[in-house]
Amino acid sequence: MVLQKRVNLQMVCIVEIISIGNELLIGKTANSNAQWLARRFTSLGGQVRRIIVVGDALDEISSVLEDSLSRKPSLIITTGGLGPTFDDMTLEAIAQTLKAPLSINEEALKMVREKYHQYEATTGKKIDLTPARLKMATLPKGAVPLPNPAGTAPGVLLKARESRIIALPGVPMEMEAIFEGSVEPLVREAAGDVFICERSLKVTEIMESALSPLIDEAMHDNPHVYIKSHPKASEPHPWIELHLMTASESKDTAEKRVEAAAEKISQLILEHGGKVVPLKL
């Protein structure tokens, strides 16, 4: 891939994603949550600076959180580790990092209790609030629980120094539901009125090594547009996807920037014997 650096996307909502779970590190589970979140943040005007994967180990999660906080991103998103089992330790790690005591949060307890009442009504079986189930309502001091429309464990939001930490479940359906209901408004608020415009082009008959200086030239003339190449077939018969993206407070400006950059890179590719056609995003 050719990664270009001379670009200013004017994004002010900086995000770091921390994916938690041994299943990610051993390759049992693909990290689809991080991909989904990165795409959603980008579409909302946020900029994901880092995606970190860490296992179910208290000190390692805490260390990664501390490192992330040191960079002062707008948002730190964690996924995984909010459930009732012994290896669900995300909230304990957050508490350890912030030196915030853990205790039953009454609002979270209400959410958990209501969920189990629903399950009782569905199954006809009595469900006790065991210590394992109460664990999902045990939050660091100062945390705000976020409703989970698709599961039991609430999401968690808290202010942490100069950032906000948002802890989401690892189950994709639950993570996405909490994001859509509770996190997206926060991202829109942090990002402000930012419009994202993207374009993808299919490039053939030119090798990536020959394409690289053309991307440099196109980005030099269009400094607000990010252009990245994604090889889809190997040399000597390559085809490459070019992804163009920009952000602006004006939708019209964003669209004009991408259009100008697309015209420039397309012209250069044709001049150097390549072929280029638009792709649907």
Q: What is the pLDDT of residues 121-179, one digit of tens each?
A: 999 999 999 999 999 999 999 999 999 999 999 999 999 999 999 999 999 999 999 99
Q: Examine the domain organization and report whether 172 and 212 are in the same domain.
A: no
Angle at 91 between CA 85 and CA 97, to 5 degrees: 135
Q: Examine the domain organization and report whether 166 and 201 are in the same domain.
A: no
Alpha carbons 140 and 94: distance in angstroms, whole number: 7
Q: Examine the domain organization and report whether 91 and 175 are in the same domain.
A: yes
Q: Examine the domain organization and report whether 68 and 118 are in the same domain.
A: yes
Q: Mean pLDDT across the stretch 98-115?
A: 97
Written as six digits, the tokens of 190 are: 């942090």
Residue 56 belongs to domain spanning: 13-191
What is the share, in percent, of the chain residues with pLDDT greater than 70? 96
pLDDT confidence tier of residue 11, bands split at 50, 70 and 90? low
pLDDT confidence tier of residue 238, bands split at 50, 70 and 90? confident
pLDDT score of 7 more than 70: no
pLDDT confidence tier of residue 109, bands split at 50, 70 and 90? very high
Q: Examine the domain organization and report whether 49 and 182 are in the same domain.
A: yes
Domain termination site, one of 166, 191, 216: 191
**Contact by Cβ (8 Å): 231, 202:** no
**Contact by Cβ (8 Å): 245, 39:** no
- The pTM (predicted TM-score) of the whole model is 0.84
pLDDT confidence tier of residue 4, bands split at 50, 70 and 90? very low
Q: What is the pLDDT of residues 46-99, one digit of tens each?
A: 999 999 999 999 999 999 999 999 999 999 999 999 999 999 999 999 999 999
Q: For position 21, what pLDDT does the model report?
A: 97
Q: Examine the domain organization and report whether 95 and 127 are in the same domain.
A: yes
- Does a structural domain hold residue 46? yes
What is the share, in percent, of the chain residues with pLDDT greater than 90? 83
pLDDT confidence tier of residue 260, bands split at 50, 70 and 90? very high
Q: What is the pLDDT of residues 38-49, one digit of tens each?
A: 999 998 989 999
Alpha carbons 82 and 73: distance in angstroms, whole number: 22
pLDDT score of 205 more than 90: yes
Q: For position 190, what pLDDT does the model report?
A: 82
Chain mean pLDDT for the chain: 92
Q: Examine the domain organization and report whether 24 and 160 are in the same domain.
A: yes
Q: For position 2, what pLDDT does the model report?
A: 35
Q: Mean pLDDT across the stretch 6-28?
A: 82
Q: Examine the domain organization and report whether 134 and 259 are in the same domain.
A: no
**Residue 230 is part of a domain; what is its CATH number?**
3.30.70.1130
Domain termination site, one of 135, 157, 191: 191
Which residues lie below 8 Å from residue 129, measured CB to CB, with a gap of 6+? 112, 113, 116
Q: Examine the domain organization and report whether 77 and 164 are in the same domain.
A: yes
Domain termination site, one of 156, 191, 226: 191
Q: For position 1, what pLDDT does the model report?
A: 35
> What is the tally of structural domains in the chain?
2
